[in-house]
Homo-oligomer: A and B are copies of this chain.
Amino acid sequence: MTGLKQELMDRVSRDLDDIEKALRASLTPHLDLVAQTAGHLIFSGGKRLRPLLNMLCARLCGYTDEFIKRFSTIVEFLHAATLLHDDVVDGASMRRGKPAAHLIYGAPVTVLVGDFLLARALSIAAETKNPKIIGVIADITESMCQGEIVQLIRKGDVGLTESQYMDVIRRKTGFLIQGACQTGAIIAGAPEDVEQKLAAFGFHIGVVFQIADDLLDYTSDTQALGKTIGADLKEGKLTLPVIYSLDKAAPADRQWMTNLIQRMSFSDGEFQRLVRLLHQYGGIHYCQEIALSRVNQAREIMDTFAPSETRDTLTMIAEYTLNRKS
């Protein structure tokens, strides 16, 4: 878990090992090419945020069965499936510091392996024979697809509003992380109010995670990020720092930014000027504020649980999500 502060790393390293083993075990019996294509992405240094949250939320609710290891792979497979398809859809060149899967295995195989992972996730969900869990997983999947479609439709649309943007990230990122926490509670047989609290906790983390991701595209560098910096804008994706700054910008700056966005290509110098404008008009700061407020809401939810190591770890993850560097 790159960039994760040491204390958190020490707390979760054993769980992360279990997750790695379960991911490998669940892919191994399948076709070589499937395991290879899926593995290229899955075993390239993902943070395992989703399965980890799933496992920890189940544990917070008193769940101790070994099945959680296999169960937690559902949310990672769903995540991997959408990354594979997104990279095809966006024509992305890098993912986690490596060439995107479709550039190595071709778009056709990558699309089909994405489908397979989607199906794999739903098969494991079906193993629980728990209709509520299956319903949550199916809903998440549907919602993620809709989020991706809206994002695609809105490509290069400088009229995207903050609330439309929030709707996209809610669907694209929020629901899956929410579902990771919520299904952890459901599998543990937690009461409805606890399930809803953990769902809300996950949702806040999901929003923070996506906003932090969007910020990193303007504040990190390509090497630390493992993908091309400024990639969002090159793909015509307007994110919150830009939406906010566009709204606040003086007419001349707004016009300049609009041209850049609609062109979907820019020089290093132009990108640096854009980043300066995002700082100048408060877009960067605004995102940090929004994310911080969500982290606080997540922390407050955790504070309603009895003190435990698991609770503290979950709080630490909420804080890490905002402060991560990659």
Contacts and interface: CB of A to CB of B under 8 A. Distances in A.
Interface in A36-95: 85, 88-90
Contact of A138 (B33, B109, B122, B139): B122
A153 interface: yes
Main secondary structure of the interface of A (DSSP, over half): helix
Interface stretch (A126-134, A216-224, A271-279): A126-134
Given A123-B139, A138-B125, A34 B131 contact: no
A33 B112 contact: no
Interface in A123-152: 123, 125-131, 134-135, 137-139, 141-142, 144-146, 148-150, 152
A114 B120 CA distance: 16
Given A126-B131, A129-B131, A131-B131, A109 B149 contact: yes
Instruction: Work out how many copies of this chain go into the complex.
Output: 2
A93 to B, nearest CB: 15
A119 B135 contact: no
Contact of A150 (B31, B89, B131): B31
Most buried by B among A30, A89, A122, A153: A122
27 contacts: A30-B146, A31-B146, A31-B153, A34-B146, A34-B149, A85-B115, A88-B107, A88-B111, A89-B108, A89-B111, A108-B152, A113-B149, A116-B146, A116-B149, A118-B118, A118-B119, A119-B138, A119-B144, A119-B145, A123-B135, A123-B138, A125-B134, A126-B138, A127-B135, A130-B131, A131-B131, A131-B134
